[in-house]
């Protein structure tokens, strides 16, 4: 079933994004799984004007079919704990991880991420989600950041008797130095926050002591999230390696070109740099993981978005930590069957990874 929201929630070009809803059945009829679509961000007028002419900024260019695989699969053998839930995919039209709320009339740009989020959630509540006995807010990449930003707000929609938790997949974007010593990601996020009017929609638990750009980085947010949160991330996140750690602007000679495309082509010194990035990620989640209510699955893979792909979510050869794949780790955590604090040993010890190789 596909539903379109008829309200002021709009993409960069003014079109309406909507969402896709697959109804639950059996014991999952009153359980709701919301997955916030990812897709990066635009951070200046030029990139946003270009983006509104793509499927990342216009609903008229959306893919017609969305694969309901991994966490959204309706097959018990592929998704043992959530297959019969109401499963919703909220489409992404930039909007700064569903947190932007401004516009640029001269450029014809609408940054309405926050309104898209609210409109979609309000519409889903009217369609039965208000009766949920359990709910999980999830997202991958930019959607993974969004699931952190909106986690406590999502919790507040339901009575205390409803089990509500959040899952961030590949959303732990780090405020780390790139290979030139610069701060590519901080500069990029600064543009997103400023251009799209994100400040007012950031958690006050962060903005009352840090600047808005810092509060767009999950490492500065997760300690303040009151709702149970699960962080699923690759320690050598392939997107961050390419776009944050070793972008072409920081590597004009192309020294990192081959390494970015295939981890097996990385030199010893490059691996050492990436090990330092992993150590910083481990440090960022140390306090977060100390809370019993939170969950963690941090594997030593070169990957990005492991809950959406069936091969990395739950398959015969899925990545595992301590012989447990992602799907079972998330299920154990959500249903309180076990405490999940899974941290992998450093690369290259994990032979179960599905490392991404780019051409």
Question: Please, is 322 exposed, middle or buried when counting C-beta atoms within 10 Å of its C-beta (0-12, 13-18, 19+)?
Answer: exposed
Q: Is residue 355 assigned to a domain?
A: no
Residue from 9, 58, 59, 141 carrying the catalytic annotation: 141
**Whole-number Å distance between alpha carbons of 43 and 196:** 8
Task: Kindly report the CATH number assigned to the domain that includes residue 55.
Answer: 3.40.50
Q: Which tokens go with 206?
A: 């962060």
Q: Is residue 267 assigned to a domain?
A: yes
Q: Which residues pair with 33 in a beta bridge?
A: 87, 136
* DSSP one-letter code for 241: I
**Whole-number Å distance between alpha carbons of 72 and 39:** 18
Q: In tens digits, what is the pLDDT along the chain, a chain of 359 residues?
A: 333 333 335 799 998 898 999 999 999 999 999 999 999 999 999 999 999 999 999 999 998 888 899 999 999 999 999 999 999 999 999 989 999 999 999 999 999 999 999 999 999 999 999 999 999 999 999 999 999 999 999 999 999 999 999 999 999 999 999 999 999 999 999 999 999 999 999 999 999 999 999 999 999 999 999 999 999 999 999 999 999 999 999 999 999 999 999 999 999 999 999 999 999 999 999 999 999 999 999 999 999 999 999 999 999 999 999 999 999 999 999 999 999 999 999 999 999 999 999 98
pLDDT of residue 2: 39
pLDDT of residue 1: 34
Please provide the distance, in angstroms rounded to a whole number, between the alpha carbons at the two ends of the chain: 36
Q: Is residue 305 assigned to a domain?
A: yes
- The stretches of 196-267 forming alpha helices (DSSP H) are 204-207, 238-240, 257-261
Contact 287, 319 (CB under 8 A): no
Model pTM greater than 0.75?
A: yes
Contact 332, 338 (CB under 8 A): yes
Residue from 110, 150, 304, 354 carrying the catalytic annotation: 304
Contact 277, 238 (CB under 8 A): no
Query: What are the angstrom distances between the C-alpha of 249 and each of 30, 164, 182, 236, 330?
Result: 49, 42, 10, 20, 37
Q: Which domain holds residue 81?
A: 2-343
Give the other-Cβ count within 10 Å of 348's Cβ. 12
Q: Which residues pair with 31 in a beta bridge?
A: 134
Q: Is residue 359 assigned to a domain?
A: no
Shortest CA distance to 232 belongs to which of 292, 338, 321?
321
Number of domains in the chain: 1
Count the alpha carbons within 13 Å of 163 in the hemisphere toward its beta carbon: 11
304 a catalytic residue:
yes
Q: Is residue 350 assigned to a domain?
A: no
**Whole-number Å distance between alpha carbons of 242 and 232:** 19
Shortest CA distance to 217 belongs to which of 249, 188, 179?
188
248 a catalytic residue:
no
22 a catalytic residue:
no
pLDDT of residue 359: 86
Cβ-defined contacts of 311-319 (< 8 Å, 24+): 311/354, 312/70, 312/354, 313/69, 313/70, 313/71, 313/73, 313/78, 313/79, 314/70, 314/78, 314/79, 314/80, 315/78, 317/352, 318/352, 318/354, 319/350, 319/352, 319/353, 319/354
**Whole-number Å distance between alpha carbons of 51 and 45:** 10
**DSSP assignment of 267-314, as one string?**
-HHHHHHHHHHHHHHHHHHHHHHTSTT-EEEEE--S-S--SSSHHHHS
Cα 172–Cα 154–Cα 196 angle in degrees, nearest 5: 60
Q: Is residue 352 assigned to a domain?
A: no
**DSSP assignment of 17-66, as one string?**
--EEEE---GGGTTEEEEEE-------SHHHHHHHTTSTTT-GGGS-S--
With a CB cutoff of 8 Å and minimum separation 6, the contacts of 46 are none
């Amino acid at each position: 079933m596909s539903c379109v929201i008829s309200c002021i929630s709009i993409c960069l070009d003014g079109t309406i994004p909507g969402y896709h809803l697959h109804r639950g059945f059996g014991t999952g009829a009153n359980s709701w799984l919301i997955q916030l679509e990812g897709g990066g961000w635009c951070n200046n007028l030029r990139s946003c004007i270009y983006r509104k002419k793509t499927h990342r900024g216009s609903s008229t260019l959306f893919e017609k079919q969305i694969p309901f695989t991994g966490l959204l699969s309706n097959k018990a053998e592929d998704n043992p704990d959530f297959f019969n839930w109401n499963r919703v995919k909220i489409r992404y039209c930039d909007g700064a991880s569903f947190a932007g709320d401004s516009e640029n009339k001269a450029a014809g740009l609408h940054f309405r991420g926050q309104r898209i989020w609210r409109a979609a959630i309000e519409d889903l509540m009217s369609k039965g989600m208000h009766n949920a006995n359990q709910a999980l807010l999830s997202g991958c990449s930019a959607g993974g950041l969004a699931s952190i930003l909106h986690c406590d707000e999502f919790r507040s929609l339901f009575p205390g008797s409803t089990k509500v938790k959040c899952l961030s997949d590949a959303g732990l974007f780090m405020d780390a130095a790139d290979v030139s010593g610069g701060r590519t990601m901080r500069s990029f996020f600064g543009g997103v926050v400023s251009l799209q009017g994100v400040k007012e929609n950031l958690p006050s638990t962060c903005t009352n002591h840090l600047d808005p750009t810092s509060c767009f980085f999950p490492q500065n947010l997760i300690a303040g999230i009151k709702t149970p949160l699960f962080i699923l991330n690759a320690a050598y996140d392939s997107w961050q390696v390419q776009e944050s750690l070793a972008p072409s602007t920081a590597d004009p000679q192309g020294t990192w070109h081959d390494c970015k495309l295939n981890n097996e082509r990385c030199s010893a010194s490059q691996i050492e740099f990436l090990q330092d990035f992993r150590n910083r990620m481990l440090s960022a989640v140390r306090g977060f993981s100390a809370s019993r209510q939170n969950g963690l699955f941090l594997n030593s893979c070169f990957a990005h978005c492991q809950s959406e792909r069936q091969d990395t979510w739950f398959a015969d050869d899925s990545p595992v930590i301590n012989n447990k794949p992602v799907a079972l780790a998330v299920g154990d955590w959500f249903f309180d069957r076990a405490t999940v604090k899974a941290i992998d040993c450093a690369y290259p010890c994990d032979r179960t990874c599905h490392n991404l190789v780019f051409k």
